[in-house]
Amino acid sequence: MTCAPPQPPIRDYALIGDCHGAALVSRQGSIDWCTLLRFDADPVFFRLLDKGGGAWDICVEGMVSTSREYLPRTNILRTRFETESGTLDVIDFMPVGRARSASVHDYVTLNAPGWLVRRLECVAGTVRVTSRLAPRAADFSVDPPDIKVENDGFLCNGGTKLWCTGNLRLESGTAVTEFDLCEGDRQSMVLTAMEALGDPREQSDALFEATKSYWTEWTEYSRYQGPYAAAVGRSALALKLLTYAPTGALVAAPTTSLPEEIGGERNWDYRFCWMRDTTYALFALSVLGYSGEGRRFTEFLTRNCLREGSVMRIMYGLDGEPFLRERTLDHLSGYHQSRPVRVGNEAAGQRQLDVFGEVLDWAELRACLGERFDAGEKALFISVADHVCRIWQEPDQGLWEMRGGSRHFTQGKIMAWVTLDRAARLFGDRPVWRENRDAILRAVENEGCAGNPGYLAQSFGADSTDASLLQVPLLGIPLDDALIERTIRKIEADLKKDDFVYRYRGDDGLSGGEGAFMITSFWFVEALLIMGRGDEARALFERLLGHANDVGLYSEEIDPASGAFLGNFPQAFTHLALISSAQLLSLYERDGREALRGTNADRARRLIGSTQGWRGLAYALIRNRKFRLFSSRRSVLRIDR
């Protein structure tokens, strides 16, 4: 029997999920990471972080090769095993669908009970299969829970159950199932997180059809018509998988502690909702035509940021928890001995000045797409602007969450300017906003530049630059074009290696190094467009597309020398940047370099046409959704529980 090796390369994984929890499936068909019900739950399997962390292996006799793909326009994964005697398809998915009470076009409210379905089908010859399920108990324990063999599968202490048939037995805490399949035979195995009424296997076909319909219907609402549609669509599906349906939060990644350097200490828990990442992602989705996710996040934002006496934080837990205590799990060896393994993230307590600008920039985008703010939202955004007036002169930890001392990061000051500029656009300029906005601009020009001729530096008084500054020309701040171009060229000279761009160089309070960041590499595509280097931008974008894994997913970072993925996976930051770059390439080639000027809201208007054209499109979409009333009912998920 051939089973997956422990801890394969990060790029060997694909993601499945139900907008509640998620699982990573390796190229060999093993599930080495799985959280049911919640992204931040203790995982059922975490061999990804320790060889004793448990997994679910599908082992086949006489295996020759494997291949895999997502079913078109879905997050359903098909892995094909070619063996000496036959061919086996394994279909992996976590059921999703609209709740019975959801409106026809509501693609946010889901009824997903935390089931993981594996459908095995022999498509040729005969195949002998062994399933090896090794679950783990709570709190990242490497010890197996008590498991009982039952007539219909295996019941684990704590309520997790594998529903299956075949030759069932226990081997040292592992639930083993063996069976033979002949051509045309199909067998479903279902892992459930809680007690189920009836046998879930009897519903597997209906679950599959509802889940397939859900994803294809959601995909059909994209209005993207430019080139690279397959990559843009896959990135949108990845972002949707990272949304947490019960509250509208969006996680930066579904994993924790995948290292930014193999063997290093830069291992962080990304299973939380960053304001920055979410607003970037919602910009990408909104311009594609997905507004429901933005409305849900608005509810999340106002619910958690309008608490009396509270100040908006840079990140929250899935339910809006403001405090995310960080601890290390010293009993785990980490991915390829990369320690420590962390749960929680103490960066939640940092001050990062840029995040206020990103939230107000997103607010302007929402307004340009026709959304109205209620009294609470308006009060929140005004209070954010007033707060920035009080604190912008203080140092912070910056966009990259450095764990060294605070600094006056140039990008943070620029985003403070954005906060006040967008507030003025939305609610009318006020003297205190205007005075502080002008003072911020003067400070950036006088203290945020280095060199002769000058370029924007990473922080006031520094000589080094920072890849976050690649986004400055897209913010609408009135800085000299020559200064912007010199900054881009400085970043190109100092931080770019081959197709990739590092975030920065120099001390950041941590030991060791890191890979090149994929988001900054896509940002460089956009910077090339700003400079009018369109042919170079398109060529680089296409090369970056080639660095995705075989199912179109990206990690946070990449090793330029080997192409190995680094950091948590898949990463929302990377996928939203891909969508943004594709949109800007399309806009540049349609309308030229000048069309990229202004704010995200300005570019959104150009991407979707005139305001009247957008309204017409919106009405057309509404009519189309009403017209598809009956076909959309396919994705209503009915589960007997």
Summarize pLDDT for 458-470 with one digit per residue, the tens.
Answer: 999 999 999 999 9
| 359 and 252 both lie in a single domain | yes
Summarize pLDDT for 150-175 with one digit per residue, the tens.
Answer: 999 999 998 899 999 999 999 999 99
608 CB neighbour count, 10 Å cutoff: 18
Domain termination site, one of 162, 186, 217: 217
| 510 and 526 both lie in a single domain | yes
Distance of alpha carbon 205 from alpha carbon 121, whole angstroms: 12
Residue 338 lies in a domain: yes
CB of 108 within 8 A of CB of 245?
yes
Residue 283 has a pLDDT of 87
Residue 411 has a pLDDT of 98
Cβ neighbours for 453, distance < 8 A, ≥ 6 positions apart: 482, 486
- 16-30, 55-69, 606-620, range with the lowest pLDDT: 606-620
DSSP string of 69-85, one letter each residue = EEPTTSS-EEEEEEESS
Q: Assign 369 a pLDDT band (cuts: 50, 70, 90).
A: confident
Q: Assign 635 a pLDDT band (cuts: 50, 70, 90).
A: low
| 441 and 584 both lie in a single domain | yes
Kindly give the interhelix angle for 354-368 and 410-427, rounded to the nearest 10 degrees: 30
299 CB neighbour count, 10 Å cutoff: 14
- Indicate the SS3 state at residue 606: helix
Does position 144 have pLDDT exceeding 80, yes or no?
yes
Residue 635 lies in a domain: no
Summarize pLDDT for 269-327 with one digit per residue, the tens.
Answer: 999 999 999 999 988 898 898 888 888 888 888 888 766 567 889 999 999 999 999 99
Task: Give 28 or 626, the one with higher predicted confidence.
Answer: 28
Kindly provide the b/e burial profile for residues 53-75, where b requires at least 16 CB atoms within 10 angstroms of the residue's own CB. bbbbbbbbbebeebebebbebbb
Residue 1 has a pLDDT of 64
The CATH number of whichever domain residue 198 belongs to comes to 2.70.98
Residues in the chain: 641
| 235 and 288 both lie in a single domain | yes
Residue 111 has a pLDDT of 54
User: Please, what is the Cα angle at 263 between 333 and 314, to 5 degrees?
Assistant: 90
- 18-22, 103-107, 484-488, 541-545, range with the lowest pLDDT: 103-107
Residue 636 has a pLDDT of 57
| 78 and 206 both lie in a single domain | yes
Residue 199 lies in a domain: yes
Q: Assign 614 a pLDDT band (cuts: 50, 70, 90).
A: very low
Query: What average pLDDT does the chain have?
Result: 91
pTM for the whole thing?
Answer: 0.94
Strand 249-250 and strand 273-274: the pairing is unpaired
Comparing C-alpha atoms, which of 228, 222, 356 is closest to residue 292? 222
**Amino acid identity for residue 189 in this structure:** M
Residue 631 lies in a domain: no
Residue 4 lies in a domain: no
Considering the chain, what percentage of its residues have pLDDT values greater than 90? 78
Domain termination site, one of 200, 217, 234: 217
CB of 250 within 8 A of CB of 336?
no
Q: Assign 612 a pLDDT band (cuts: 50, 70, 90).
A: very low
Strand partners, 134: none
Residue 309 lies in a domain: yes
Residue 306 has a pLDDT of 67
Domain termination site, one of 150, 184, 217: 217
Does position 222 have pLDDT exceeding 60, yes or no?
yes
Does position 627 have pLDDT exceeding 70, yes or no?
no
| 140 and 230 both lie in a single domain | no
| 458 and 492 both lie in a single domain | yes
| 390 and 474 both lie in a single domain | yes
Residue 517 lies in a domain: yes
CB of 30 within 8 A of CB of 57?
yes
Does position 618 have pLDDT exceeding 50, yes or no?
no
Q: Which domain holds residue 476?
A: 221-608
Residue 615 has a pLDDT of 40
Q: Assign 641 a pLDDT band (cuts: 50, 70, 90).
A: very low
| 202 and 274 both lie in a single domain | no
Residue 1 lies in a domain: no
Does position 261 have pLDDT exceeding 90, yes or no?
yes
Distance of alpha carbon 42 from alpha carbon 332, whole angstroms: 14
CA 388 to chain centre: 28
Averaged pLDDT, 91-105:
73
CA atoms within 13 A on the CB side of 129: 34
Summarize pLDDT for 355-366 with one digit per residue, the tens.
Answer: 999 999 999 999
Q: Report residue 641 as tokens.
A: 């529980």
Residue tagged 């990690």 (tokens): 555
| Cα diameter, the chain | 78
Summarize pLDDT for 32-80 with one digit per residue, the tens.
Answer: 999 999 999 999 999 999 999 999 999 999 999 999 999 999 999 999 9
Tally of domains within the chain: 2
The CATH number of whichever domain residue 544 belongs to comes to 1.50.10.10
| 378 and 491 both lie in a single domain | yes
Summarize pLDDT for 540-559 with one digit per residue, the tens.
Answer: 999 999 999 999 999 999 99
Residue 626 has a pLDDT of 34
Residue 371 has a pLDDT of 86
| 138 and 240 both lie in a single domain | no
| 289 and 308 both lie in a single domain | yes
| Cα dist from 478 to 359, 438, 540, 594, whole Å | 20, 10, 28, 15
- 193-197, 348-352, 445-449, range with the lowest pLDDT: 193-197
Residue 251 has a pLDDT of 97
Q: Assign 113 a pLDDT band (cuts: 50, 70, 90).
A: confident
